[in-house]
A and B are shown apart, each in its own frame.
Chain A
Amino acid sequence: MSTPVLSLHGVRKSFGPIEIIRGIELDVVPGERHAVIGPNGAGKSTLFHLISGQFMPTAGEILLEGLPIGGMPPHLVNRQGLARSFQITNIFPGLSVFENLRLAVMRRFGLEFVFWRRASRLRAVTHLVEELLAQVRLEKRANALASELSYSEQRSLEIGMTLASDPKVILLDEPMAGMSHEETEYTVGLIREITKGRTLLIVEHDMDVVFSLSDRISVLVYGQIIATGTPAEIRGNLAVREAYLGEEAS
């Protein structure tokens, strides 16, 4: 196995007296699609918040390509090459789809405090936005307000925004939550396409999606990872079956 692009060692997180994450060891290797599964309240979202900079870990270290990012503010984590989506759709509702993606793309060109150029004349930005629109298949909706999109379109838009910074590692938090069967299939296809050549860490409840999409799976139960392996290994793991899968997969 190659050197991990993202690795967590002894990561712990407490909220007051309650310890949610209880010493996590996790290595994500470059190019893999890695799913994190576990029962409700296992700490999956908290884990994502720790990696992406929303929360500061109580103990342990988080390394992105060998660089410690634990406790770094979100915008700096993003600049290190890690982007994420959210469990609850997190977009700019009052702006057009195009504008949503433009805001997401501009950062990559260092366009933050620039007030001497017109945004509409930034060719490289516009070009990239159009590329992203095509990638997430929203070309026809470019001028619609983000709030007017259907739910699955909004999720696609958010995936597009996550891609905009050209991240090495993408974190998707339940991208299929609340979707119909068709929408789920569509989104799985989309995720397959856009994660080519990138590393994906995904939290998802839909077991069909998890087992068909991921190269490796980690099972999180009560703040600890009890098993990591290929889908086949996880399916055969007795502890996992007892702790979690028994209820949903069999």
Chain B
Amino acid sequence: MRIKVILLALAVMALVAAPAFLSAGLVNASIQMLIAALFASAFSLLCGQAGMLSFGHSAYFGIGAFATIHAMNAFNGAGLLPTPLLPLVGGFMGLMSGIAAGWFATKRTGVYFSMITLALAELLHALAPHLKEVFGGEAGVSAMRMPAWGFTFGSNVEVYYLTLFWVLLCLVLLYLYTLTPVGRLTLGLRENTHRLRFLGYNVHKLSVLVFAVSAMFSGVAGALQALNIEAANYVVLDMQLSASVVLNSYIGGVKVFLGPAIGAALMSFFGYAVSDLTRSWLLYQGVLFVLVMMFLPDGLVGEIARRVREGRFGLGWERLSAGLLFAVALALSVVGFVCAVELAQRFFSTDYRSMVVGATWPPVALFGREWLPFSVVTWGLPLGVMAVGLGLLSFASRRLDPERGGAS
């Protein structure tokens, strides 16, 4: 317990100190990470705690973003809504739309619930381009951050602190929510709605409430996004955002409170770092998701939390060496896999097609070496490295975890 508090305090201090050490680009990436973390936490209130998997959460994020942009233009930073309070608009509109959509969606459970949320979000996404007044068509709507309370909000460091404040506030509120009676009942929704009903609870009302709270915090996340980029485009309503929040949350672990936030922060950093380097980053993201689901179904943070709970962090030379071997093996597998994918991606690209003249297939330069398309080395080396890596991996994981009998 005490370790947890110390770790959290350190994390918050690191977040507060971060802009002093980061480049402008990284500060921007950090803002994105914070927003993604809040969005995933809001989503996981519904998905992880209440057990309702929504496939349409981009809708509430988007509604929050557009509401904020319009509020920025309408109030111009004056009156009752100076820039720092704008996320309240996003939250309020998220809440309202959450009540409306949640009332329908929570009439059903399981797959049917997911389908309704998906349909509602797609409805909004399809409608948006036609409502130019509201969603601004292809160009979207833009606005300006106005100075307030002695801040200009001109630099992205100030935006970072604004975002950090709201994200931390929302995370604290979301955590406190889990401690309240209604927060406990939310877990009951996940575990057994049928029993809840026969204990005298109005399950539908309760589900709508949870849905609306989740949508509200999603709206705040959307608002922060709008404040950050000073624009909103209907692309934000796309299915892709709904899908990525699902993936991010599960990678972190939906059933641990900070799991989704950490998962989302990691994945959006991964996107930021890798998307400039390779066009295949979505593939890597997908593979990562599949692997986490297969081998760590509780998610990254969930797995750590489980091990701490079971007290399985005993150190010793035996485990340390096995752990080291595991890390090396993992690195080898990743290197092999990435090489193979990158080579394949280059050989199958249209650029390469245009370079082929007749029967001559030129080599491709990658990682400081020339690779020929039909040479054994080109494919044998990466795949061989990967195979060795995987072999070692299964050996190491058996030594690390004898009772589990391998990595599964």
The segment out of B2-10, B67-75, B183-191, B262-270 that lies at the interface is: B183-191
Given known contacts A92-B195, A106-B181, A119-B180, A112 and B202 CB-to-CB distance under 8 angstroms = yes
Q: How far is the CB of B237 from chain A (nearest CB, A)?
A: 29
Query: In the complex the two chains form, is B205's CB within 8 Å of A91's CB?
Result: no
A90: chain B residues within 8 A (beta carbon)? 192, 194-195, 198
Query: In the complex the two chains form, is A113's CB within 8 Å of B209's CB?
Result: yes
Q: How far is the CB of A95 from chain B (nearest CB, A)?
A: 6
Question: Would you call A83 an interface residue if the criterion is a C-beta within 8 Å of the partner chain's C-beta atoms?
Answer: yes
Question: Would you call B105 an interface residue if the criterion is a C-beta within 8 Å of the partner chain's C-beta atoms?
Answer: no
Given known contacts A93-B191, A93-B192, A95-B191, A112 and B197 CB-to-CB distance under 8 angstroms = no
Question: Would you call A94 an interface residue if the criterion is a C-beta within 8 Å of the partner chain's C-beta atoms?
Answer: yes
Query: In the complex the two chains form, is A75's CB within 8 Å of B185's CB?
Result: no
Query: In the complex the two chains form, is B184's CB within 8 Å of A94's CB?
Result: no
* Assembled-state Cα–Cα distance A118/B197 (Å): 23
Question: Would you call B79 an interface residue if the criterion is a C-beta within 8 Å of the partner chain's C-beta atoms?
Answer: no
Interface size, chain B (Cβ < 8 Å): 26
Question: Would you call B203 an interface residue if the criterion is a C-beta within 8 Å of the partner chain's C-beta atoms?
Answer: yes
Contact among A93, A95, A111 with B181 in the assembled complex (CB-CB below 8 Å): A111
The segment out of A34-42, A97-105, A203-211, A228-236 that lies at the interface is: A97-105
Question: Would you call B199 an interface residue if the criterion is a C-beta within 8 Å of the partner chain's C-beta atoms?
Answer: yes
* Assembled-state Cα–Cα distance A151/B203 (Å): 27
* Assembled-state Cα–Cα distance A89/B185 (Å): 19
Query: In the complex the two chains form, is A107's CB within 8 Å of B187's CB?
Result: no
Q: How far is the CB of B80 from chain A (nearest CB, A)?
A: 25
* Assembled-state Cα–Cα distance A165/B184 (Å): 17
Q: Which residue of B lies closest to A93 (CB)?
A: B191
Query: In the complex the two chains form, is A75's CB within 8 Å of B181's CB?
Result: no
A103: chain B residues within 8 A (beta carbon)? 184-185, 188, 196, 199
* Assembled-state Cα–Cα distance A120/B182 (Å): 12
Interface size, chain A (Cβ < 8 Å): 36
Query: In the complex the two chains form, is B185's CB within 8 Å of A112's CB?
Result: yes
Near B by CB (< 8 A), chain A positions 74-95 give 74-76, 78-79, 83-84, 86, 90-95
Query: In the complex the two chains form, is A74's CB within 8 Å of B198's CB?
Result: yes
Convert B76-113 into 0s and 1s, putting 1 for each residue whose CB lies closer than 8 angstroms to a CB of A.
Answer: 00000000000000000000000000000000000000
Contact among B181, B194, B201, B202 with A114 in the assembled complex (CB-CB below 8 Å): B181
* Assembled-state Cα–Cα distance A115/B179 (Å): 9
Query: In the complex the two chains form, is B181's CB within 8 Å of A119's CB?
Result: yes
B182: chain A residues within 8 A (beta carbon)? 112-115
Question: Would you call B314 an interface residue if the criterion is a C-beta within 8 Å of the partner chain's C-beta atoms?
Answer: no
Query: In the complex the two chains form, is A102's CB within 8 Å of B184's CB?
Result: yes
A76: chain B residues within 8 A (beta carbon)? 200
A164: chain B residues within 8 A (beta carbon)? 199
Near B by CB (< 8 A), chain A positions 157-195 give 161, 164-165
* Assembled-state Cα–Cα distance A73/B194 (Å): 12
Question: Would you call A123 an interface residue if the criterion is a C-beta within 8 Å of the partner chain's C-beta atoms?
Answer: no
Query: In the complex the two chains form, is B181's CB within 8 Å of A112's CB?
Result: yes
Question: Would you call B235 an interface residue if the criterion is a C-beta within 8 Å of the partner chain's C-beta atoms?
Answer: no
Question: Would you call B177 an interface residue if the criterion is a C-beta within 8 Å of the partner chain's C-beta atoms?
Answer: yes
Q: Which residue of A lies closest to B184 (CB)?
A: A119
Q: How far is the CB of A175 from chain B (nearest CB, A)?
A: 15
Contact among A115, A122, A161 with B199 in the assembled complex (CB-CB below 8 Å): A161
Question: Would you call A116 an interface residue if the criterion is a C-beta within 8 Å of the partner chain's C-beta atoms?
Answer: yes
Question: Would you call B162 an interface residue if the criterion is a C-beta within 8 Å of the partner chain's C-beta atoms?
Answer: no
* Assembled-state Cα–Cα distance A111/B188 (Å): 14
Query: In the complex the two chains form, is B179's CB within 8 Å of A83's CB?
Result: no
B199: chain A residues within 8 A (beta carbon)? 75, 78, 83, 103-104, 107, 161, 164-165
Question: Would you call B27 an interface residue if the criterion is a C-beta within 8 Å of the partner chain's C-beta atoms?
Answer: no
* Shortest beta-carbon contacts, A-B, top 8: A78-B200, A92-B191, A111-B181, A107-B200, A114-B181, A115-B180, A74-B197, A103-B188
Selected A-B contacts with CB under 8 Å, 15 pairs:
A74-B198, A75-B200, A83-B199, A90-B194, A91-B192, A94-B187, A103-B188, A111-B181, A112-B202, A113-B182, A114-B181, A117-B180, A119-B180, A120-B179, A165-B200
